[in-house]
Amino acid sequence: MILKDGKSVHISLDKRTGAGFVSQDLYFHGFFSASIKLPADYTAGVVVAFYMSNGDMFEKNHDEIDFEFLGNIRGKDWRIQTNIYGNGSTSVGREERYGLWFDPSEDFHQYSILWTENLIIFYVDNVPIREIKRTKAMGGDFPSKPMSLIATIWDGSNWATNGGKYRVNYKYAPYIAEFSDFVLHGCAVDPIEISSKCADTMPKTPSIPNGITLDQRRKMENFRKKQMQYSYCYDKTRYKVPPPECVIDPKEAERLRAFDPVTFGGSHHHHGKQHRRSRSKLKEDDDVSFM
């Protein structure tokens, strides 16, 4: 539902269908942001996604940069998950998961993605929470093709809350996510030629970041220290050897091991958490309608 001002939109999930919207243009690099207010009360199994993808154009080798908001049972907080895919690398999950220092259902908060040729940064209220640098070891796993900006709300009962233990309860529906204050500061691409004349020569704007300042890096380290609950780099049940781009921080490893000794301590007993399926698979499985 587009509101009267033409600059805000609500998307809702009920027992009949989820919903979403997609940008009119494809973009090759840039800064993409929205203020989002999430549904309140019992939201177990509900997933709100704000992400970039080209899965409709490149079904076998798509790229993706994800913010996913994972609902919870009453009394438990929403969590954020970030992830990337490049060139269809869906067999390698690069998820991180965090708590927040506020209730995202009480008010709007800004969630942003900076995507350049060699760097991806996720921001919450202008605080960077994750930085991904392109490395030779990643090869084509770094997103490198033009993408659309997309938002969806859908039923993730099978995995989103405690590995599927708590499912969506439609007596609390409709679940409504609200979006406003969009920023699409990117290089638009011809969808036929998949080419761009501006590449990384977009005009610099003071309000658009191009990296992380020293003060922001301090805030990012503090956020990760207090709020990070999961990182694929330390998941010994999934990866006996961390993926090659991972830089292991001993302090970070110790914090996560204390948080979840089975996952991050290398126990042979699998913790049973399921991780999200690729969105190309979701397109086959879930009824997601676009406005």
Active-site amino acid positions: 64, 68
Here the tokens at position 116 are: 């350049």
Cis peptide bond N-terminal to 209, omega within 30: no
Choose among 201, 179, 239, 229: nearest CA to 32: 179
Tokens of 201: 């020569």
3-state secondary structure of 143: coil
Task: Measure the CA angle with vertex 90, ends 84 and 93; round to 5°.
Answer: 60
194 backbone dihedrals φ, ψ, rounded to 5°: 50, 50
Distances 38 to 23, 70, 213 between C-alpha atoms, Å: 20, 10, 29
